[in-house]
Structures are given as structure tokens and as C-alpha cells.
Amino acid sequence: MRIASWAVLIALNIGSVSFAQAPGRYPPQTTSGTGYTGVPYSATETTTNVLTGTDGVQHTQTSVQLLWRDAQGRTRRESIQHDALGVESRSVIMTDPVAGVYLKWTVRYDSTNKIASIWPLSEAQKITAPPPLPHLTAPDLVPRIIGPDCGCERLGLQDINGEYAEGSRTKHTVRATAAGGQDHVVTNENWISPELRIILRHITDDPVEGVTTTNVTDVVRGDPSSDLFAAPEGYEIRDRRQSPTPAH
């Protein structure tokens, strides 16, 4: 089982973050820092996965998401997709930790299906901003063993896409479960902005699933328009807060 990207923070005894979710309903684990107030911003997040096949050919997939957070800690994540005909659609998740809800809707420019659904947030989902790392000292840069199959280390300070960031890395050995299988090591690297409390860069190097790199760029400070944190005009609002809680 792959180690969570937040495990290094737990290993350093500086707190843990829970991200319970159910695919298709709960907001995904995000870099956008829901619940962190007073530092609004907007940015672009690009994720690229490079997987090398058994024939040596590299297969690359790229996705782009737009991010916003207001001074109240509300976040909006907008995923951009294109179908086989090139028609664009956007999937939007707006998370409001103050109201304890999130809204989901899709914008497709050739569709009349305009529905926005409201779902409840669990307490754990109200804050997805990574906890700050403690003051960096020389001993922190020494790799630590935190279990028979896992180790972690601090990477120091670095400029990531124009923002100051603090880095950490975990390495986790995944043991083979089938006869004839081979163990492999998965590496997770995070670069966190201590001021914005968002992940500016995340890299997962997995021999099975490839190298996945997420970069947050084009960061602009300042409060986004309040219109971004409500369903668009003309959408039907469906309240799902009394629906059975999705299975985790």
C-alpha cells in the first residue's frame, strides 16, 4: 500500500491531516488549502504523469486545474476536460468550511443539464491545509527511519515557481504480495509554502504507476470574486445534505 503524501508530517510529530473521501462525491485530496484563512490567492495547478511501458515507450497524461481560495478559507477547484470532439467541460468543486458544505457542478457549453449539488463536509474535510513544519535545524536534514519499510527526511528551503517553500521526502517500500513479484520503493516529495499553506509541488515516483508531478504556478495574491464561491446563475440547486453518507 502506498504511503500517504502527508506521512512525513506525521512522522515528524507535527500533526496529522485526515482526508476521508468517497470517489465522485467528497472533495479530493487537494493542494489548495481549504480552511486556511487570511491569505487569499488564485493559481493554476498542472499534473503530469509519465509512465514507461514494458516496451520502453513513455506515455504522458496531463491535467490542468484552476484554484482559488478567499480570505474565509473557502476554495474552488475547477478541472478542465475535453471530449473526443474537442468540446470543453469544467468540473467544479467549491468547498465552504464555514458553512460545512461543498458544492459540485459541471459547466459544459453545449449542455442544458445545469444542476449543482450540495453535500455535507465532515469535520476532517473542513481543513485540508498542511500543518506548518517546525523551524528547520541541521538535525532535521538527517534522514529518519520511521518503520521497517519507511523513512523520511527534510529537504531544506527552495524557491518553487516564485514562492518560498519547505521540502520533505518519504520513501516507502511496497512489499510484493504475489509469488514471483518484486518489492519496489515509492518516493513522495512535497514542497509546502509556509505562508500560503498550500503544496506548491508534489512528486510521486512509483515504478508501477510512473512519475506524477503536480506544480502550482501563476500564483496571484488577493481575494477572488465572491461569485466564484456560488453556483452559476440558472443552475438548479439539489440539496444532498440529508442523503445517506457516502461509504468511505
What backbone phi and psi angles, to 5 degrees, belong to 185?
-105, 130
What's the pLDDT at 67?
96
Q: Euclidean distance between the first and final Cα of the chain, in Å?
A: 17
Judge whether 131 and 15 are in contact, CB under 8 Å: yes
Nearest residue to 35 (alpha-carbon basis) of 165, 103, 123, 164: 123
Q: Per-10-residue mean pLDDT for the chain, 248 residues long?
A: 36 32 40 90 94 86 94 94 80 93 84 85 85 60 58 87 90 80 87 92 91 95 94 89 59
Per-residue pLDDT at 80: 87
Strand 184-193 with 198-206, pairing:
antiparallel
pLDDT score for 134: 66
Name the nearest CA neighbour of 28 among 103, 125, 172.
Answer: 125
Per DSSP bridges, beta strands 88-96 and 75-82 are: antiparallel
Taking the C-alpha atoms of residue 225 and residue 68, their distance in angstroms, rounded to an integer, is 9
| CA quadruple 226, 232, 233, 238: dihedral sign | negative
Q: What is the pLDDT of residue 221?
A: 95
Query: By the 8 A CB rule, do 115 and 232 touch?
Result: no
pLDDT on residue 87: 78
CATH homologous superfamily of 7-239 equals Lipoprotein localisation LolA/LolB/LppX (2.50.20.10)
How much is the pLDDT for 6?
A: 36
- Residue type at 161 in one-letter notation: N
Q: Where are the domains of the chain?
A: 7-239
